[in-house]
């Protein structure tokens, strides 16, 4: 078993590794005067992540028995929000790639008044591990998942990734780092094809703000997510390469969003790029996210899903009882450790907030 790492060691190790990646890539940076920006009035958009809808769900750490209710309440609440430019569903729409669950999700999303975009997570296609297959379900391949959600960002090209112009001055970029053939690994790796495409997209639209969405994480958010840790696969294998592309194109104001981690909203600025980890819809603290963006600032709120207090309390207790989801140094349950676990997962200081955006 890997020896637990202290928070001080985590901060030091992470800082050194990320700075190292920046130094190695500094010679390849494009250096030029920033182009004139395309005017951008404030744009509001919403993000739903990790709904894990399951028509036969059973509550564990994920409140699967309430997954449909969570999505439907969130859709209703988003329809009451004013002037949403779009809604992004940031992966893990399904429990494990079931067509029957996909029907429920598509029906729910079709009710949204704002345009809806979808990207695949590691639970959105037929599991490579046959032990995860359940009787009574029809399973989608990763390509069939994209075809089923054609019109929700995906088109007829069969490509796993896409870009869309939201309004003048604002673009959406969707990436897919999933590994459908991996039986045990739930992590990801962004293929070279997407890396090169991302570089060109950012370089070609450097006068705009570029929102970059991927289900998997661009960087670690806890000790356990460091390489070799029990949660290392929340972060993609070639995260340093992806970050270097974002940093090289910082004049394009890339803002990176990920899900997968099932934690309350976390954010970090690294080498002038803003990174966000987004909360799950059906595991504690059961939230979704609404952002407002301009060229100068990004602000947000993360409302709680509109289900009963009893459901929220059950989700909180389920998290505390799920030993794997607790970082190693807090694995043993105690009042102090429980508070530390809740503090990390809830991150209540970030329920609402804002960040100035750096433009080089």
> What is the residue-averaged pLDDT of the chain?
91
92-112 pLDDT tens trace: 999 999 999 999 999 999 999
pTM comes to 0.91
Mean pLDDT computed over 284-288: 98
Which residues are CB-neighbours of 78 under 8 A, at least 6 positions away?
A: 46, 84, 87, 112, 114, 288, 290
Residue 259's contacts (CB-CB under 8 Å, 6 or more residues apart) are 49, 50, 90, 91, 92, 121, 215, 277, 278, 280
Confidence of residue 158 (pLDDT cuts 50, 70, 90): confident
Cα–Cα distance measured from residue 233 to residue 316, given in angstroms and rounded to the nearest whole number: 24
Rounded-to-integer distance, Cα 153 and Cα 114, Å: 13
pLDDT of residue 182: 94
Distance of CA 260 to the CA centre of its chain: 6
**Residue-level pLDDT at 3:** 44
Hey, how many other C-beta atoms are within 10 angstroms of the C-beta on 154? 22
Token readout for 136 is 């009574």
| Distances in whole angstroms, Cα of residue 280 to Cα of each of 32, 240, 262 | 39, 25, 5
**Higher pLDDT among residues 338 and 26, named by residue:** 338
| Contacts of 299 by beta carbon, 8 Å cutoff, 6+ apart | 291, 292, 352, 353, 354, 355
Query: Residue 37: its pLDDT value, please?
Result: 81
Per-residue pLDDT at 38: 85
Tens digit of pLDDT for each residue in 191-236?
A: 999 999 999 999 999 999 999 999 999 999 999 999 999 999 999 9
pLDDT in tens, 50-75: 999 999 999 999 999 999 999 999 99
pLDDT tens for each residue of 133-149 = 999 999 999 999 999 99
**Choice between 279 and 12, residue whose per-residue pLDDT is larger:** 279
Return the residue matching tokens 């840790």.
Answer: 229
- Residue 222, CA distances (Å) to 115, 217, 280 in order: 34, 12, 17
Which pLDDT band holds residue 39 (cuts at 50, 70, 90)? confident
Q: What residues pair up with 86 in beta bridges, in sequence order?
A: 45
Per-residue pLDDT band at 36 (split at 50, 70, 90): low
Strand partners, 89: 48, 118
Res. 35 pLDDT band, cuts 50 70 90: low
> Which residues lie below 8 Å from residue 192, measured CB to CB, with a gap of 6+?
none
Residue 345 has pLDDT above 80, yes or no: yes
- pLDDT score, position 31: 44
């Amino acid at each position: 078993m890997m020896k637990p790492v202290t928070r001080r060691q985590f901060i030091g190790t992470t800082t050194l590794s990320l700075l190292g990646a920046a130094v190695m890539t500094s010679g390849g940076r494009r250096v030029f005067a920033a182009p004139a920006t395309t005017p951008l009035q404030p744009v509001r958009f919403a993000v739903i992540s990790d709904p894990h809808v399951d028509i036969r769900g059973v509550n564990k750490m994920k409140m699967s028995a309430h997954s449909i209710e969570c999505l439907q309440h969130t859709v209703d609440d988003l329809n009451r929000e004013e002037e949403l430019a779009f809604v992004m569903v940031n992966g893990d729409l399904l429990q494990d790639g079931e067509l029957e669950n996909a029907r429920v999700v598509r029906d729910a999303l079709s009710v949204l008044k704002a345009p809806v975009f979808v990207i695949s997570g590691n639970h959105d296609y037929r599991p490579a591990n046959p032990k995860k297959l359940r009787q009574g379900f029809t399973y989608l391949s990763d390509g069939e998942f994209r075809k089923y959600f054609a019109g929700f960002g995906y088109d007829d090209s069969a490509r796993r990734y896409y870009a869309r112009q939201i309004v003048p001055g604002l673009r959406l970029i969707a990436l897919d780092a999933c590994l459908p053939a991996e039986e045990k690994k739930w992590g990801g790796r962004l293929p070279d094809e997407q890396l090169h495409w991302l570089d060109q997209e950012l370089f070609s639209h450097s006068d705009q703000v570029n929102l970059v969405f991927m289900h998997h994480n661009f960087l670690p958010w806890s000790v356990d997510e460091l390489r070799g840790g029990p949660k290392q696969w929340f972060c993609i294998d070639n995260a340093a390469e992806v970050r270097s592309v974002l940093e090289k194109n910082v004049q394009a104001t890339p803002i990176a969003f990920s899900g997968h981690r099932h934690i309350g909203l976390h954010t970090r600025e690294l080498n002038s790029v803003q990174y966000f980890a987004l909360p799950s819809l059906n595991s504690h603290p059961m939230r979704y996210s609404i952002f407002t963006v301009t060229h100068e600032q990004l602000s947000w709120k993360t409302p709680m899903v509109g289900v009963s207090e009893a459901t929220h309390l059950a989700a909180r207790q389920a998290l505390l009882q799920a030993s794997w989801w607790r970082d190693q140094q807090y694995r043993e349950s105690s009042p102090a450790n429980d508070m530390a676990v809740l503090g990390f997962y809830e991150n209540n200081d970030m329920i609402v907030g804002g960040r100035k955006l750096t433009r080089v």
